[in-house]
Amino acid sequence: MANNPGAKKAIRKIERRTEVNKSRRSRVRTFLRKFDEAVAAGDTGAAQAAFTTAQSELMRAVSKGVVHRNTGSRKVSRLHRQLKKMATA
């Protein structure tokens, strides 16, 4: 347990940051799910729009430190590959 005021403050800061990061991670997952739903429905226009917003949200999470840079890039790459596959089919 934290004994000094600095450690107690650090615990409070960590709790606040954890809440913010949970919210951001949840937001990213929501946009990824919307993209998956658009791809499953076969709607190219909706999938393109969902891809744009999902990519933006993923990169924003990367810049905020919620997701590692390589993880964000990998996820965007996979989404783009799905979109290309859908467009050619």
Smallest CA-to-CA distance from 80 within 57, 50, 60 is with 50
pLDDT tens digits for range 9-25: 999 999 999 999 999 99
Task: Give the span between the Cα atoms of 23 and 39, in whole angstroms.
Answer: 25
pLDDT tens digits for range 28-71: 999 999 999 999 999 999 999 999 999 999 999 999 999 999 99
pLDDT at 2 exceeding the cut of 90 = no
Instruction: Write the class of the CATH domain 5-88.
Output: mainly alpha
- Domain residue spans in the chain? 5-88
Smallest CA-to-CA distance from 79 within 24, 38, 21, 18 is with 38
Annotate 21-38 with b (16+ C-beta within 10 A) or e (fewer). Answer: eeebeeebeebbebbeeb
Q: What is the pLDDT of residue 87?
A: 86
